[in-house]
Amino acid sequence: MTHLWRGSLLLVAAAFLLEGCFGSSWHSLRYFYTTIWDPVRDVSDFIAVIYVDDLFVGYYNSTMKRVVPQVSRIRKVEEDNPHFLDRYTNLAMLDELRQKMHLKDQRHLYNQSRGLHTWQCTFGCELSQDRYKRGFSHIGYNGEDYLSFDKETLTWTAATVPAQVTKRKWDANLARNRYIKSYLEEVCIEWLQKFLDYGEESLLWREPPTVRVTLKASYDGLETLVCRAHGFYPKEIDATWRKDGEVWEQETFRGGVVPNSDGTYHTWLSVKIHPEDRFRYQCHVEHDGLPEPLDVAWEEPGKRRGSYQAAHKAPSNL
């Protein structure tokens, strides 16, 4: 685990900048490492992904051997650091070797020569608007908690009996544990602040939702109205059904708020209704990207170019 927190992808996160959680009391920089041993091919595969706040900003994997950005706002970082992608790709490759070594050590510890096995590491830091800082590091093996780092005691906490072996080994290296604490509380916070400074304008990014209402018939004589909100950012959104202008929760079902590949989100909610009441319902949506709330109702076919959908989207405020 030595030097895992060296910052393999640090400037990469800055490159993508970080629309983050503007208006939120916390900002975060998080890394997720996953190593998988494939017994069929007798090799290990590695992938690293980076999030700043709730935005997926970049990744690296064993196949591409290259840090790949997921957000295009990199001009300022490129100007200040012309070779940062090459530099931190090299560091990511070193971290890949270390993570594969850790997985190999665990397989030997458990005497596991067969089957698919995984080693996961998540670490990072958080910074509040009042400058309160938090750092964290957690390890998982085969999808279960394995170890977590206690910054106050400079020791690892074992979640399983076999993990005690690894804990004792890692706790014996006090210098490394001190370095981890320093990284989580100082270096990581410094870089998070730089990312936020680079992305000062981007932090204002607001993407309003496209809202559509569709109608589906049911076999029980009832109908289902489905409201879908697409392409919005930030993640927080308030969507409810209104019947005759009043909030209506009966027979309402909701999907989760799910990320899209471009960093935006989508969600849905439905309600079962009597056919004669279909025009009494509206999907009410409130979001930071909207100048005012949207109220979207289903429209009969032909009223919108023959479509069964009503779609609305406010212009972006950038």
Render pLDDT for 2-12 as a digit per residue (tens, 0 to 9). 333 333 343 34
The ranges assigned to domains in the chain are: 4-203, 206-313
Is the model's pLDDT at 262 over the cut of 80?
no
Report the range of poorest mean pLDDT among 21-35, 108-122, 173-187. Answer: 21-35
- Reading the block at residue 136, the tokens are 């964290």
Distance, CA of 217 to CA of 183 (rounded, Å):
57
In the numeric block, the tokens 């990207």 are attached to 289
Q: What pLDDT sits at residue 167?
A: 96
- In CATH terms, are 4-203 and 206-313 the same topology? no
Q: What pLDDT sits at residue 72?
A: 52
Decide the pairing of beta strands 310-313 and 43-52: unpaired
Confidence class of residue 100 from pLDDT cuts 50, 70 and 90? very high
Q: What pLDDT sits at residue 92?
A: 86
Is the model's pLDDT at 305 over the cut of 50?
no
Is the model's pLDDT at 14 over the cut of 90?
no
Alpha helices in the chain (DSSP H): 10-16, 75-80, 84-109, 163-171, 174-182, 188-198
CATH number assigned to the domain covering 206-313: 2.60.40.10
* Kind and range of the H or E run holding 90: helix 84-109
Choosing among 3.40.50.300, 3.30.565.10, 3.30.500.10, 2.40.50.140, the CATH entry for 4-203 is 3.30.500.10
More confidently predicted of 296 and 217: 296
Q: What pLDDT sits at residue 7?
A: 38
pLDDT tens for residues 134-191? 999 999 999 899 999 999 999 999 999 889 999 999 999 999 999 999 999 998 998 8
Confidence class of residue 20 from pLDDT cuts 50, 70 and 90? very low
Question: What does DSSP assign to residue 183?
Answer: I
In degrees rounded to 5, what are phi and psi of residue 100?
-65, -35
Q: What pLDDT sits at residue 151?
A: 94
Q: Between 84-109 and 163-171, two packed helices, what is the crossing angle to 10 degrees?
A: 130
In the numeric block, the tokens 């080693």 are attached to 119
More confidently predicted of 20 and 173: 173
In degrees rounded to 5, what are phi and psi of residue 232?
-110, 155
CA atoms in the 13 A half-sphere facing the CB of 143: 2
